[in-house]
Amino acid sequence: MSDSILTKVILALISAGFGFAFAVILDWIKARREPKTELSWEAEISNSLVSVRQDIFAKVRVLYNEHQVSRLAVMKCRISNTGNRVVKEERVRFTFPKEVKILENFFDPKPERELGVAELEDAREESSERIYTIAHLESTMQVTFQFVLDGNVPADWSPHAFNEHGDVLFQKRDLSRVREDKEHLQPFLVIVLTLLLIPPVLRNLIVDLGDLAASGATLILLALLVPHIVPVTRLLTNLIANERHTDRKIHIKDANSVILGDHSAVRIHSSSIGKNEQEDKSVV
């Protein structure tokens, strides 16, 4: 085979490689633009915020808004529109175990009036549940609900959602983020493979302008690679590392009163304890 024919074959292969890479990228862009109606939720649960030494347990009373509690817990649940279409008239139900008492529920922060977020008090069937409706939630918008509870929330707790119009995907935020990150994996691998193969071939094939062609191809491919670096890195990190979460707690050895947070006061009363015991209060 002559050098001219070999050169044409190699150039054809390079063109095919670039074409395949751009086809994968265009397919990814098209998939991202397809209509997607999706809500994602994520919850931060802090169980047993107050723990008391056993030898003084009988002498301590924990009050939240003047109501005595045994196991103070706080849960924050954030619902976000992670799709690319507006979601209307979404109904969300927060149900806790029957032994858990809802001491207070509020928004954090308070949503804008245009979102039409409201509690449906008449729709409750049990005292351990709260039901809300979200009238209008644009893409990337979110609403955060906070609950102060007496009792522990199970680790597998989840809210329940309903939309009379249907076709609204409601899932945990971690699952949504992992799925989105996986969508970046294929174009990332294709671009990296093209980046490793095409520029060296161009540099060796084209005598006079090989370096210039290789540099141009490298810059183009790197620009296409940038949007995929962070999602793929996050995906790989999640695969090899376990996320650690530590609840904030108050450990009491001897206390008269404590204020927890800015929204409401938690007061802890104890009867007199021996003078030799030292006061030790810490928030982790």
Confidence of residue 10 (pLDDT cuts 50, 70, 90): low
* Residue 270 included in any domain: no
Residue 9 and residue 124 share a domain: no
| pLDDT at residue 277, as a whole number | 42
Residue 147 and residue 43 share a domain: yes
Residue 130 and residue 83 share a domain: yes
Residue 43 and residue 137 share a domain: yes
Residue 187 and residue 142 share a domain: no
* Residue 249 included in any domain: no
* Residue 58 included in any domain: no
Residues 120-143 have a mean pLDDT of 92
Dihedral pair phi/psi, residue 107, rounded to 5°: -90, 145
* Counted domains in the chain: 2
| pLDDT at residue 235, as a whole number | 76
Which pLDDT tens digit goes with each residue over 158-205?
A: 999 999 888 888 988 776 566 677 777 888 888 888 888 878 877 777
Mean pLDDT score of the chain, rounded to an integer?
A: 77
Q: Estimate to the nearest angstrom the gap between the alpha carbon of 179 and the chain centroid.
A: 12
Residue 182 and residue 151 share a domain: no
Which pLDDT tens digit goes with each residue over 240-268?
A: 765 444 444 555 544 444 444 444 444 44
| pLDDT at residue 272, as a whole number | 42
Residue 28 and residue 132 share a domain: no
Which pLDDT tens digit goes with each residue over 30-54?
A: 766 677 889 999 998 888 776 666 6
* Residue 257 included in any domain: no
Q: Find the domain containing 102 and state its range.
A: 38-48+71-167
pLDDT over threshold 50, residue 97 = yes
pLDDT over threshold 60, residue 121 = yes
Residue 190 and residue 159 share a domain: no
Between these two residues, 271 and 110, which has the higher pLDDT value?
110
* Residue 27 included in any domain: yes
pLDDT over threshold 90, residue 238 = no
Q: Which long-range CB contacts under 8 A does 139-143 form with residues at least 24 apart?
A: 139/81, 139/82, 139/83, 139/84, 139/85, 139/86, 140/80, 140/81, 140/82, 141/80, 141/81, 141/115, 142/78, 142/79, 142/80, 142/81, 143/78, 143/79, 143/107, 143/111, 143/115, 143/117
Residues 270-281 have a mean pLDDT of 42
CATH code of residue 119 = 2.60.40.1170
